[in-house]
Chains A and B, each alone.
Chain A
């Protein structure tokens, strides 16, 4: 263990309670090209407990989980199951030792029924399948852990929460004693999270071990019996006891320094109008999506647009970016009318756009960071990589992007780093200096460290005099960053308030459509 790591408690319990230790990993090393994903990591989980692996994206927790379930083989170190050394050559070998992984991206065949998915891969089944018998057994396993599910339902028709339940039932059906849950709450709504935690308790009560992988501090404290914190592939802390840990300490172990999630509004001067939207309306297939929207964004000002998803946010952003032509009304950027003129012209007068869909609309996943940067640079016939390369290297450093260099492929970046590349490209200006930045859900799906960086970058851009339109479903984010807050409800701006005095209750009510007036 390195000198820089923080030891809150003793390292993993090698000696104490060896009988109850279900699975342990010792001095695990795992290298990937250019990264040491796991560096001498120790970990153990006992029967009937929830042991959490906490860390930022890229800290090595998913790699460790992959080693624990047999998906990866460690370069050094070994695993022990019930005190005996084991060697897992594949996930199947892991299953044979009762270790199963519930992946973040579900491994389910959508066209198959629940039963078919559950039994897929079970070797002890007879050649010919008896569906009735299988359905009964699947239902029985599900019932016993409070995971009701219809064995004949087609998985493609199920909600995300239900699919996760199918994954868990599948692991239990295959005889798993140790379940590794990889970011299980990332895809769930709060009520589903509650249900999942009930299931987790039912499983631990039955003597199963749960390895819970997460970067969300609140839920980690709620569910865990023990927490192991990873940073840069190393164990930086090992915290025991439920509810005794405060989130600040965990956050510090995770990021390596004190962090401030509530980025303060920087003091800055607000300048002239950069974005002018006048009576903007948009109908798609005769359905009104945006209705009579007018507002301005000034230089050095961040305007936040709050609202429940699907109230016209995406269309508003796309209209400003020149991707959609409005039915009526106008969009002006820096005094130039950009209505109907298309994205190229809009960018020429100083628009920068960070869409919600980073790897779909924002970056080309199969291209390098350098080539992604070039997309918004000068449009010459011959691509000039040589002259942009130094800038790319500088941006990678400036924006703290974890990558092997300008040639790193965009699809191999973590979510946070992809977002930083996108911000770096948009903020650094393309064919003209950036005057207006439109960002949509900039921190969605990112871990704590990346969220902090992205918010700081946005603040820096505002301080540098850029006008920013922040469109986000994360109400806390909108409230803590924006100088002014607009609430979009069914395509109209139903509420407007200065950011500093914005009331959570009022904005929340407006988002729910309860405020007809209130627009100043």
Chain B
């Protein structure tokens, strides 16, 4: 058995987990405010190609990241407009965003096909720490965005549960009428966090592009990671800390088939393993779209429900 391949796999799994953490945190902030944005996959794709084009044109990876993040927020604002301002059905609006985002990304990606960026985001160097066997490449061999994502999840947890705005955010997702009665604007809070969520998803998509694949492969660039992120929020029970572990777990599951193939381990068909995360996602999404099971899982009570002030 080649030890290196397993270490490499672990490092890759954590790398994939970075996109998942960022996208899932984005979905979590959105959903905690009571807005269900199923359009994550569309945002991921559009942000990915936008960041690629920006980085390619300017030669700056960091500018690419910024552009991708902003595009994420802009796309999410469309969803906020439809579902918060016009009170559209959020599931339908979200699905529309997936279709729109995918189409837009493929259109924008035409000139990018076959191209690749020369500079990618480089792993940080921790000096001797990075040279520790096994742990070194896995724990100390990641780039700054990965560490940022993990730190963000920890900060998000503190923000949600021990700050005043976090309290207001959770209240908005659970019981918007109560928040409204306190004179806080439900619409403003929901639009704000839908856009913040979109920005995080956008950052995740950009990072995936600029640090991971470094080339545009249309929808295969994200390969359904947006949907997995949505499922991850469900499995994490809408708690940021659990997202870190969930993302790493999903990351491993996604990487495992390649490693097993390389190792020529065939007692489990790799196609079966490749299917697993998507199967889990399917189950989570079904649970997410039914109010009954949603409440059972601990979802925000008002998730997916437009807020209308009771008037006579």
The interface of chain A, by Cβ under 8 A from chain B, is: 32, 35, 37, 70-71, 90-93, 95, 101, 103, 107-112, 116-117, 119-122, 125-129, 131, 412
Contacts and interface: CB of A to CB of B under 8 A. Distances in A.
A107 B309 CA distance: 13
Contacts of B171: 109, 112, 120
B248 to A, nearest CB: 28
Contacts of A90: 183
A92 B178 contact: no
A252 B160 CA distance: 54
A512 B182 CA distance: 44
14 contacts: A35-B312, A91-B182, A95-B183, A107-B177, A108-B175, A109-B170, A109-B175, A110-B175, A110-B301, A111-B301, A120-B179, A125-B164, A126-B164, A129-B163
A125 B184 CA distance: 15
The 7 lowest CB-CB distance pairs between A and B, nearest first, are A92-B183, A121-B182, A107-B178, A107-B181, A109-B175, A91-B183, A90-B183
A412 B183 contact: no
Contacts of A92: 182-184
A131 B175 CA distance: 21
A448 B99 CA distance: 57
A336 B181 CA distance: 54
B174 interface: yes
Nearest to A170: B182
B4 interface: no
Contacts of A95: 183
B181 A109 contact: no
Contacts, number: 69
Most buried by B among A70, A108, A111, A120: A120
A91 B288 CA distance: 34
Given A92-B182, A112-B170, A112-B171, 6 more contacts: A70-B183, A71-B181, A126-B164, A127-B163, A127-B165, A128-B164
A103 B164 contact: no
Contacts of A412: 312
A111 B171 CA distance: 9
Contact of A32 (B163, B182, B183, B312): B312
Contacts of A119: 164, 167
Given A32-B312, A111-B301, A91 B163 contact: no
A125 B167 CA distance: 12
B162 A128 contact: yes
A90 B181 CA distance: 9
B143 interface: no
Contacts of A131: 162
Interface in B165-199: 165, 167-168, 170-171, 174-175, 177-179, 181-184
B175 A121 contact: no
Nearest to A96: B183
Given A111-B301, A128-B162, A129-B163, A91 B181 contact: yes
A121 B184 contact: yes
A37 B312 CA distance: 10
Nearest to A109: B175
A345 B163 CA distance: 59
Interface string B221-243: 00000000000000000000000
A406 B161 CA distance: 49
A71 B181 CA distance: 8
Contact of A109 (B164, B165, B174, B184): B174
B163 to A, nearest CB: 6
Contacts of A103: 181
Contacts of A32: 311-312
Contacts of A35: 312
A127 B183 CA distance: 18
Nearest to B166: A129
Interface string B294-312: 0000000100000000011
A90 B186 CA distance: 13
B310 to A, nearest CB: 9
Contact of A110 (B165, B168, B174, B184): B174
B179 A121 contact: yes
A71 B110 CA distance: 53
Contacts of A121: 168, 179, 182-184
B304 to A, nearest CB: 17
Contacts of B164: 119, 122, 125-129
A408 to B, nearest CB: 11
Nearest to B177: A107
A313 B184 CA distance: 44
B218 to A, nearest CB: 42
B265 to A, nearest CB: 46
A403 to B, nearest CB: 12
- Most chain A CB inside 10 Å of its own CB: which residue of B163, B170, B183: B183
